Structure 1
Amino acid sequence: MDYRSNVTYITFGGHVEVHKYRYLYFVVMFTVYILIISSNLTIVCIIMIHKNLHEPMYIFIAALLINSVLLSTAIYPKLLIDFLSEKQIISYPACLFQWFLYYWLGSSDFFLLSVMAYDRYVSICNPLQYPTIMQEKKVNIFLISAWILPACQTSGAMLLSAKKEICTFNLKGILCNSTVQTLHCVRSRIQNIYGLIVLVTTVVLPVLFILFTYGRILVVSYRCRGVRGRAAQTCLPHLLVLINFSCLTAYDVLLPRLELDSPEIVRLIMTLQVLIYHPLFNPIIYGLKMRRIYDHLKKLFCRMV
């Protein structure tokens, strides 16, 4: 059946008793969305306003938090509309676009975390060369690359999916993520190979690079007592964010491939964790663990009180 001439909409089948708890779902998720926007943008504004935070490390943190806002905005408005709608549906082109935004911005997070790890490596292991290596031009190149490279790779996967014929029009989920592949009549080998390449280049290699750089930092910190406190203060937040995001990504990537027949409530809870934890986790970690940001936040709240 050709969806373009017969069926144009995909039904989200992952909602649990949405007609019964629609207003509760809406209020909770709307509150979470407002918290995500306000908490992330607050720290971004603090970094932009205060000149002592105009350093590569804090610029990368601001980029990561902006990424969280963009990712949430790609998901939450549609999700909130679905909670109040009689039918939870989306057109297939719109579904592919949401899928593209979801994985483009998610992949950008790994690239940004890699750049942040490199920045910490240079700062701690080669402090004298740090101003020369991390110049403004190079920082801008890193930021642009962290968004453009994942966009190019993810767009290729989206175009391959767009050419595939779909035979199923019910999606076992509440958003268009990797489960979109289950809609296709036949899974092509080319698409699987390309997806594996994208997974390796956007997730596996960045994670290995991050672990390698922090391993080197750990060795230097062990040898030089003077940098231990500095390394722990600046590297621990990045590692916590990496661990949290890697665990959520692993679940999202493995879910459609394992094809586990898990209960709907379990799928819903796990998906909501992906949508809630990471965007809220980042500003909390960086706001509390990064000393300079924490000091500015404390001053801001004191003025408000």
Structure 2
Amino acid sequence: AVLGTVNDTKFTLAVFLLTGISQQEDIHLWISIIFCLMYVLSIVGNSVILFIIKTDPSLHEPMYIFLSMLAVTDLGLSIATMPTILGIYLFNSREIGLDSCFAQLFFIHSLSIIESSVLLLMAFDRFIAICNPLRYASILTPPRIAKMGLVLLLRGVALAFPFPFLLKRFQYCQADVLSHSYCLHQDVMKMACSDITVNSIYGLFIIVSTVGLDSLLILLSYVMILKTVLSITSHAECLKALSTCISHVCAILVFYMPVIGLSLIHRFGKSFSPLLQSLLGYVYMLVPPLMNPIVYSMKSKHLRVRIIKVFIK
């Protein structure tokens, strides 16, 4: 009995080992330079967008307020993953304690849910702007936008909140090497030597009720947008209306495709190579925060002009 207790304690106090890109240790320095550059561009890009939207009163419109919410979420995701990803490639620091791991996965999952919610709100914004333009200002008032922001924040925190507690009750006696350079619930739960049915069901519920539901509602809003746009007789007006959605469609594809791919690999991907899983994990974490500021600043002339002014001064 005493021996069992000692062993149990050992399992409970275990550390996990994070994984870089396997069999590529000799080029870790080059990979670290690429990742450092991506993080710098993500943080600078999103910070500049936030600064411009905050300081320019003409950008205090619903579309730009939602964009600033997206930028805050992307900054959060970059900050949540940066210590462990750069730690591996710069210092070969692979160990992470259980509590640090649970804290990191809470922030990653809650921010991912929030990002999905923000993309849904942005689809709603485009839907109102194109399908009901006369009521746009009266529907998307600042107090209503603030309430929407609060609801999506609470939704992200509330749905991700059980994850650390569901994982904390386990003892970990499996191989302690995780699949990624950061902690994810679906990855950590496989390390447990207990029954993970509850975690598995809750994880599936989260995916279906956030990514599944949000992407369905976004698709529905775009069906309505297309229906409205195609009824416009003027070809130029039709293209102009659709062009306002291009950056949002890019943001949706960049976010949802890696999320769905990674979820499928973790659930059914015994046959997939670890390299594909690892690369998809980096795309999921690093590409949306990097691409969103670039895509939106390229598509929005007003934003682009203000960014150029900031850097030319």
Q: TM-score, normalised by structure 2?
A: 0.89
Quick check: 1:126 aligned with 2:126? no
Residue in 2 that maps onto 1:282? 292
Residue in 2 that maps onto 1:91? 97
Quick check: 1:164 aligned with 2:174? no
> 1:215, CA displacement in angstroms?
1.1
Q: Distance in 2 between matches of 1:78 and 1:262?
A: 24
Residue in 1 that maps onto 2:66? 60
Residue in 2 that maps onto 1:217? 225
What secondary structure, in the 3-state scheme, does the structure 2 residue paired with 1:170 have?
A: coil
- The one-letter code sitting in structure 1 at the alignment partner of 2:43 is I
> 1:189, CA displacement in angstroms?
2.5
> 1:135, CA displacement in angstroms?
1.0
Residue in 1 that maps onto 2:155? 149
Q: Distance in 1 between matches of 2:305 and 2:224?
A: 29
Q: Distance in 1 between matches of 2:233 and 2:48?
A: 34
Residue in 2 that maps onto 1:237? 247
> CA separation of 1:37/1:144 partners in 2, compared to 1, >3 Å: closer, same or farther?
same
> CA separation of 1:207/1:127 partners in 2, compared to 1, >3 Å: closer, same or farther?
same
> 1:5, CA displacement in angstroms?
6.0
Residue in 2 that maps onto 1:69? 75
Quick check: 1:41 aligned with 2:47? yes
- The one-letter code sitting in structure 1 at the alignment partner of 2:84 is K
> CA separation of 1:57/1:293 partners in 2, compared to 1, >3 Å: closer, same or farther?
same
Q: Distance in 2 between matches of 1:16 and 1:189?
A: 29
Q: Distance in 1 between matches of 2:11 and 2:230?
A: 65
How many corresponding residue pairs?
A: 303
- The one-letter code sitting in structure 2 at the alignment partner of 1:175 is Y
Structure 2: gaps spanning 5 or more residues: 1-6
> CA separation of 1:163/1:220 partners in 2, compared to 1, >3 Å: closer, same or farther?
same
- The one-letter code sitting in structure 2 at the alignment partner of 1:148 is L
Q: Distance in 2 between matches of 1:44 and 1:86?
A: 33
- The one-letter code sitting in structure 2 at the alignment partner of 1:267 is Q
Query: Any conservation in 2 of the 1:18–1:83 contact (CA below 8 Å)?
Result: no
> 1:207, CA displacement in angstroms?
0.8
Q: Deviations over 1:209-242 (max 9, x none)?
A: 1111111111111112465244222212111111
Does 182-191 or 256-265 show the bigger shift?
256-265
Query: Any conservation in 2 of the 1:46–1:296 contact (CA below 8 Å)?
Result: yes
Query: Any conservation in 1 of the 2:32–2:89 contact (CA below 8 Å)?
Result: yes
What secondary structure, in the 3-state scheme, does the structure 2 residue paired with 1:166 have?
A: coil
> 1:53, CA displacement in angstroms?
0.7
Residue in 2 that maps onto 1:108? 114
Residue in 2 that maps onto 1:174? 181
Does 22-31 or 106-115 show the bigger shift?
22-31
Quick check: 1:293 aligned with 2:300? no
Structure 1: gaps spanning 5 or more residues: none
> 1:39, CA displacement in angstroms?
1.1
Residue in 1 that maps onto 2:205? 197
> 1:298, CA displacement in angstroms?
3.6
Q: Distance in 2 between matches of 1:291 and 1:248?
A: 29
Residue in 1 that maps onto 2:260? 250
> 1:86, CA displacement in angstroms?
4.5
What secondary structure, in the 3-state scheme, does the structure 1 residue paired with 2:51 have?
A: helix
Q: Distance in 1 between matches of 2:25 and 2:214?
A: 42
What secondary structure, in the 3-state scheme, does the structure 2 residue paired with 1:90 have?
A: strand
Q: Distance in 2 between matches of 1:7 and 1:139?
A: 44
- The one-letter code sitting in structure 2 at the alignment partner of 1:278 is P
> CA separation of 1:175/1:3 partners in 2, compared to 1, >3 Å: closer, same or farther?
farther
Query: Any conservation in 1 of the 2:262–2:277 contact (CA below 8 Å)?
Result: no
Does 169-178 or 32-41 show the bigger shift?
169-178
- The one-letter code sitting in structure 1 at the alignment partner of 2:181 is I
Q: TM-score, normalised by structure 1?
A: 0.91
> 1:199, CA displacement in angstroms?
1.2
Q: Deviations over 1:78-131 (max 9, x none)?
A: 221222335411001111111111111111111001111111211221122222
> 1:261, CA displacement in angstroms?
4.7
Query: Any conservation in 2 of the 1:14–1:267 contact (CA below 8 Å)?
Result: no
Does 242-251 or 163-172 show the bigger shift?
163-172
- The one-letter code sitting in structure 2 at the alignment partner of 1:80 is L
- Percent sequence identity over aligned pairs: 25
> 1:6, CA displacement in angstroms?
6.0
What secondary structure, in the 3-state scheme, does the structure 2 residue paired with 1:294 have?
A: helix
